Chains A and B, each alone.
Chain A
Amino acid sequence: MSHHLGAMENLSSDKGTINNPADIAIIVGYFIMVISVGIWSMFRTNRGTVGGYFLAGRTMTWWPVGASLFASNIGSGHFVGLAGTGAASGIAVGGFEWNALFIVLLLGWLFVPVYLTAGVITMPQYLKKRFGGTRISLYLSVISLFLYIFTKISVDMFSGAVFIQQALGWNIYVAVITLLLITALYTVTGGLAALMYTDTFQTFVIIAGAFVLTGFSFVQVGGYSALLAKYSSATPSNFSSMDPQRYNISPHCYTPRQDAFNLLRDPTTGDLPWPGVIFGIAIVGGWYWCTDQVIVQRCLAARSLTHVKAGCIMCGYLKLLPMFLMVFPGMISRILYPDEVGCVVPELCKMVCGTEVGCSNIAYPKLVVSIMPNGLRGLMLAVMLAALMSSLASIFNSSSTLFTMDIWTRIRPQATERELIIVGRVWVLCIVAISICWIPVVQAAQSGQLFDYIQSVSSYLAPPIASVFLLAVFVKRVNEMGAFWGLIGGLLMGLCRMLPEFWFGTGSCIFPSNCPYLVCGVHYLHFGIILFFCTSVLVLVVSYCTKPIEDQHLHRLVFSLRHSKEERKDLDWEQEERGRRAQREAEERIREKEAKSGICHLVRRFCGGGGSEAPEQDAPEAPEKLPDISEDPVWKYTVDANALIMMTVAVFMWGYYA
């Protein structure tokens, strides 16, 4: 009992500890660096054109591409979620990260060549060219925006809020609004180029800081072998029910799992069964890395295909790190603070972290606050901010790209380039406002296992998209009807599982959910595999029953025709021609009545509109320049060899921890 009171006292004195000069100096320094990198990159690329703003002028080398892929992916949700799930159930959650090593190679070798030769900026645009018609691209834009808000923005903001609450004791709204405004500032002004260069800086900060924390935590726990030995005995001291009439706590709710150090777990009784970990995560990963706008946009901004592949390899190597930098520290946190991180009695958990379900989410922030010395705590806060801001900025930029290029151009096909860029920026501000309004929803829906929540929602909604894209790229026979009905069928199937599960609630170990076994019995990863195959079958069946798309419409849109140099009759040609004509008329009209005042000119320079000549020069150029996916053979072999080496390393790590 006295031990418990002592722990509580320690907890209250830990809050609000970042208030000394060293910490504050580091945080201020970090912000200055980020903003200066953003401003520097503003002057490097021409942001006046759509290509310059949304695709960084296609001039990026491999290291910003690789770093940006990593930083866009790793958000504060990873720090909080990976560490928390690692604390609760062991290293299997690292399988999510290590599976991505292979998927990112699929992206660079199979998907990006097709996207590059297709000459598209957004993924819905690719589907529009590939299938014709507008309903598929509209559906994809809407569902992508929806998924961004539900699975990426809300989770990252919630994790950032948890961290700030634990570390600073600030009011959540003040902290998050400040963060969002700073992120929005350099996203809105800089475009993708600014993002990718700042992402490189953020990657460095994230990895350096996380390494430091990992070092300190291993020192604190006594080394790697100590971690292996002590984890299984990291049980809380209070595990008896405070209200036996309402509930009883069985031992397996607070004892660490026996298979905690196995990546591949039992298919029926494991919390992350191995078929799901290998195949289910591959499918969701296929959606995330190969078909999602955020990630693909960074690859499309690269200088050449070789740079894309090298960037993918670099990202792959970086993805080896989260297991050691986030999952292991999470487990160490449970060993060091079993009564807070591993708390099981609902009333106590509520006192510790504000939610009855469990406190594993505070694993990482607890470490930062408790074992890092002064100055380094500020560094860790900078790391969390880096992760949060880089992910949010990427999502803002990509969602604005999606909205501008797919939804806005449908509403106003005559929009000029300048108008599109302005709309893109205004949309970022809109989505910032929506995210702020979403915070109370996320707070109310606090669940014990944050990472699980993201992955399960993704498993219910993403497999149809992954399947349609995979078939679109590799199977010429698939046509618009097949793809559309496959998407709709897949969506309905996913909703059939997702809505009841949300309705009944996910429950916890002590209060299991009363969702019927038929609906919720299948593990969400296995459900993802089933959904993927059902959607593929549906797409293929409907496609083979309806008329095919001719080859002349498919040159450079499918993998088998990616090198073809023949003229392509775009299926959306008429629509585009109408749009281009309307755009040209609108631009002429604007140039006629243009009167440049001094202030207007200044504002335009700041916002990157490079005058009226630049867009005109770019517009006739764009249709003639086909993106080149030829590769210098020497570099091709180097890059292929490197990919093989990376896969070997990945396979070794999987084998070691299986």
Chain B
Amino acid sequence: MGKLCAVTSCLLLTVSAAAAQTAQPQIERLLPQWLTGIIAVSAFLFLVFVTLLVKKAWCEKPSRKTAVESESDRENEFVVTNGNTYETNLDTIRRKSTVESARENEFENTYETTLEMTGRKSTVESTGENEFGNTYETTLEMVRSKEDPNAFDNLAFGSADDKVTSM
């Protein structure tokens, strides 16, 4: 009787062990592991690339504004000789930039660092330029190349174009 019990229990054990082994060992993977790794890396690098582009795009805007602010003395002289509309538009750009920079100071940490970086860069650039014509050109380019869909920017863009044609 004891032997029979031992035999049946052994049988049951082996059957259950066999059943456990034939069970699905792991979750089926759709793609090989190295491929999911590569896909994740490419997605990550793409995101990094996009972030760099966004940072660069943001860099352009503040660098124009800071360059405009830093060259304020020369521009003021220049603006007086060139007429009212141009002066008011530059002023609005400067005013708007200070308002904007005061507003967006909480979460935009990248904005601040790029602001400083480009602020430094643009002051270096501006000190290199001596002629009034050159500074006018650079500020004009900066105003012209702005792709911001803000209404007043377009206004500035439009008026700058007018100034060019009149000159």
Contacts and interface: CB of A to CB of B under 8 A. Distances in A.
Interface of A: 110, 228-229, 232-233, 235, 237, 255, 258-262, 474-477, 559-560, 563, 644, 647-648, 651-658
Centre residue among A260, A262, A477, A651 by max chain B CB count within 10 A? A651
Interface stretch (B66-74, B105-113, B125-133, B159-167): B105-113
User: In which size bucket is the chain B interface?
Assistant: 20 to 34
Interface string B75-108: 0000000000000000000000000000001111
A232 B19 CA distance: 12
A474 B106 CA distance: 6
Contacts of A261: 26
B117 to A, nearest CB: 10
Contact of B109 (A228, A560, A653, A657): A560
Top 9 A-B residue pairs of the complex, sorted by shortest distance between their CB atoms: A655-B40, A656-B37, A655-B37, A232-B25, A651-B44, A652-B37, A655-B36, A652-B41, A656-B33
B41 A474 contact: no
Contacts of A560: 105-106, 108-109, 112
Contacts, number: 69
Contact of B45 (A229, A476, A648): A648
Given A476-B106, A644-B48, A237 B13 contact: yes
B151 interface: no
B41 A476 contact: no
Given A476-B105, A477-B106, 11 more contacts: A232-B26, A233-B20, A233-B21, A233-B25, A235-B17, A235-B20, A560-B112, A563-B116, A648-B41, A655-B41, A656-B36
B1 interface: no
Contacts of B112: 559-560, 563
8 contacts: A229-B25, A232-B25, A259-B26, A474-B107, A474-B109, A477-B106, A651-B43, A655-B39
Contacts of B48: 644
Interface residues of A: mostly helix, strand, loop or mixed?
helix
Contacts of B33: 656-657
B24 interface: yes
Contacts of A647: 44
Contacts of A657: 33
A563 to B, nearest CB: 6
A416 B110 CA distance: 42
B54 interface: no
A653 B33 CA distance: 10
A250 to B, nearest CB: 13
Contact of A559 (B44, B45, B109): B109
B106 A258 contact: no
B26 to A, nearest CB: 6
A232 B106 contact: no
B38 interface: yes
A261 B105 CA distance: 44
Contacts of A474: 106-107, 109
Nearest to A229: B25
Contacts of B108: 560
A110 B106 contact: no
A652 B17 CA distance: 36
A654 B40 contact: yes
Contacts of A654: 40
Contacts of A237: 13
Nearest to A476: B106
B23 interface: yes
Contacts of A259: 26-27
A258 B36 contact: no
